[in-house]
Homo-oligomer: A and B are copies of this chain.
């Protein structure tokens, strides 16, 4: 345990993952917000932009050119894709740990990265040592990581929803795994766009990214790592009128051995020591509001007896376990803190 508080920097604090980091870190017992940058809002007190932080966060935004991030113990990037990789080298050289909430360090295959993000990768050597930050899968690597690629929101639900089965080789991979995923609108970020206006997105629902969503290659790569083999994966994300909340309904065919397995017991055992993964009792129907504002991911299993399929339903708050909460969880592990520090909240229901 550190005797002094960890000094935290945030690059790009004006989006939803940024303000969510601020919400969580403002009350973190072992961390102190040291600097937060924004090109557009330099000089503005953070709490003027987000009055929910009044009295909790006294910082003002700093111009990135003026911010001395090398003084920090850790820097979070809550920025568009491509920013973290342009600054990681210098920070790593200065001994600063980096947690990127964008995609720069999620895909080990730089060709895949470049195909989906239309950017050459700026620091493949750092990428090679970066850790994909799902603690429930890679806790030991996170502990010693210098750079974390914090996972996408959808991938966290699918990977934690399938890990116990894939780790044990209980899936029939002759048919595709299908994830029908649904996300609240905050997942689209705090950008002024017509498609996510209230009058467009409220009382409305649609699929999107069916022809190809950036989280598909990320999930596929990780699923294949878990399975130890190649597999087929169909992913259809949907936009639903929630502010926060994500639900993935995952359809997977069990292998012959999988059909003989007590999958409920398997999942309960796999996650019994995980403070943030909650395997619900048999027959449960997880609701997104049961994790609103909390870092939990809740799971339920439903077998489809006629077809040998298992349906896994996973819910999380896309801004917490799907983004900022998982990032803080990673920070806690990297610095040897209590993994639940700053994340010990109760979801807001109703």
The interface of chain A, by Cβ under 8 A from chain B, is: 16, 19, 23, 26-27, 50-56, 175-176, 178, 180, 182, 184-186, 188, 190-194, 196-208, 210-211, 232, 234, 236, 238, 240-245, 247, 249, 251, 253, 275, 278, 280, 283-294, 296, 298, 302, 304, 306-307, 309, 311, 313, 315, 319, 344-350
- Most-contacted residue by chain B among A208, A253, A345, A349 (CB, 10 A): A349
- Among all A-B residue pairs, the 6 with the closest Cβ atoms: A180-B180, A52-B349, A198-B201, A52-B347, A192-B192, A204-B289
Chain B: CB-nearest residue to A280: B51
Bound-state CA distance A349–B350 (Å) is 15
* 23 A–B contacts, CB within 8 A, in A order: A19-B349, A23-B348, A23-B349, A27-B344, A55-B278, A176-B309, A180-B249, A182-B240, A197-B198, A198-B243, A202-B203, A202-B241, A203-B245, A204-B242, A205-B245, A205-B315, A206-B247, A206-B285, A210-B311, A236-B302, A240-B240, A241-B242, A293-B348
Q: How many identical subunits does the complex contain?
A: 4
Contact B286 A203 (CB under 8 A): no
Chain B: CB-nearest residue to A190: B194
Contact A249 B238 (CB under 8 A): yes
Chain B: CB-nearest residue to A25: B346
A205 to nearest B CB, angstroms?
A: 5
Chain B: CB-nearest residue to A51: B290
Contact A197 B175 (CB under 8 A): no
Residues of chain B with a CB closer than 8 A to A232's CB = 306-307
Contact A198 B247 (CB under 8 A): no
Of the candidates B26, B207, B247, B350, the one whose C-beta lies within 8 Å of that of A313 is B207
Residues of chain B with a CB closer than 8 A to A206's CB = 247, 285-288, 315
Chain B: CB-nearest residue to A193: B192
Residues of chain B with a CB closer than 8 A to A196's CB = 197-199
Contact A234 B309 (CB under 8 A): yes
Contact A289 B234 (CB under 8 A): no
Of the candidates B188, B193, B205, B243, the one whose C-beta lies within 8 Å of that of A240 is B205
Bound-state CA distance A193–B205 (Å) is 21
Residues of chain B with a CB closer than 8 A to A345's CB = 27, 345
Contact A202 B205 (CB under 8 A): no
Of the candidates B199, B244, B296, the one whose C-beta lies within 8 Å of that of A185 is B199
